[in-house]
Amino acid sequence: MAPDYGRDEPSIMRIVVASDSFKESLSALAVCQAIASGIRDVVPDADVVLCPMADGGEGTVDALVAATDGRTLTTEVRGPLGDTVRAAWGMLGTRAGVGDSGTRQQQKHADVPTAVIEMAAASGLPLVPPERRNPMLTSTYGTGQLVAAALDEGARRIILGIGGSATTDGGVACAQAVGVRFLDSSGAALPAGLSGGSLERVVTIDLGGRDGRLADCEILVACDVDNPLCGPRGAAAVYGPQKGATPEMVERLDAGLAHLADVIRRDMGRDVGDLPGAGAAGGLGAGLVAFLDATLRPGIDIVTDAVGLADRIAGADLVITGEGQLDAQSMMGKVVYGVGKAAQAKRVPVVAICGSIGPGADRSLELIQAYFSICDRPMAMADALAGAADLLSQTAANVVRIFVNSRR
């Protein structure tokens, strides 16, 4: 049974809107703005706090920049195949809640200069044409260049989302971009931009030239898989084929990653082979832990902490969240799960407004009070996507009408 959220009627209703994007339709900020418009139609003087959300995957940079009044930057880096790409990333702002009037509410906790990076912007699969996909040849060097750019900008915390990679290089190229050297059997440094097919050449790891600023920088990696580095559930076997690997390539990549794990264990005293999440992004999870002292955490936990969601929710009358489709997977670390968990801890009711409702959506009722689809009639997907903003506003208005009347 849901807890009793009854309370005395406040003079001004405070509603927190914390939604994910609706993919192929609206950004997280645009979704939140549409919901806010519907709220204002019913309660014009409501204090509406917008907190665009993401789960650590695609859209995390945009959501966190918008939610914290941050800045988006663009840096030229090496793409997965060595060509130049312009990769967007962000610096978080004041961690202020965005009000519907444009005002911002300062959060309680102290700021640390924080960057947010999506590795897919530099080393992602969409950057490689289908006919050229080959994880034997791709590298994460560009992701490391983004880490270096964040350090140049003064970041002392880096949030790094690692979904959607085109690579299986164990993170060695990323590490090269911040000064780690990998030596061959003759003691010579291997060239920058090592790929998955080069791992077997790594004999020694030299951290002597690693960027000293990393010692004072916390790196949090949004990682929502528990795959080990090697073996049947490892980076090469599970994710290699979707990146263009043939069975023969998978075997060689897996052997290369196992070899790298052995060298890391010998030279650095770290056993990353069986670390849950080590196999994420072609072994980048393992490489970030080994070479950059990173911490792997569920993406939604990183995001909710970064935007100070618990502080924003405290004292609110209602939270409205949402995502493109609410289904069984929503309770596996998606935005509705994270927002619901944070709101439940503060004893604030939550309603989810979603594009569509799929199988298993009722599992979300463990954390939220109700959910609604924006589709108010049978309609084609194209129509729902095109009209999402108006449909969101209408649904939010109806939700708030029910909520207001229930308090009288």
Using alpha carbons only, give the angle 286, 292, 298 rounded to the nearest 5 degrees.
Answer: 55
pLDDT at 95: 56
Stretches where the chain sits below pLDDT 70 are: 1-11, 95-110
- Specify the 3-state DSSP secondary structure of 253: helix
Which residue pairs from 400-406 have beta carbons closer than 8 angstroms and sit at least 24 positions apart in sequence?
Answer: 400/15, 400/38, 400/39, 400/42, 400/43, 400/46, 400/318, 401/42, 403/317, 403/318, 403/349, 403/351, 404/13, 404/42, 404/43
Contact 148, 211 (CB under 8 A): yes
Q: What is the pLDDT of residues 59-81, one digit of tens each?
A: 999 999 999 999 999 999 999 99
pLDDT at 376: 86
Give per-residue burial for 230-243: e unless 16+ CB within 10 Å, then b. Answer: bbeebbbbbbbeeb
Query: Does the domain formed by 14-53+310-406 have CATH 1.20.5.510?
Result: no
The pTM is what?
0.91
pLDDT at 11: 66
Q: What is the torsional sign of CA 138, 141, 146, 150?
A: positive
Q: What is the pLDDT of residues 325-347, one digit of tens each?
A: 999 999 999 999 999 999 999 99
For the chain, give every domain's residue range.
14-53+310-406, 60-299
Q: What is the pLDDT of residues 185-233, one digit of tens each?
A: 999 999 999 999 999 999 999 999 999 999 999 999 999 999 999 999 9
Query: Does the domain formed by 60-299 have CATH 3.90.1510.10?
Result: yes
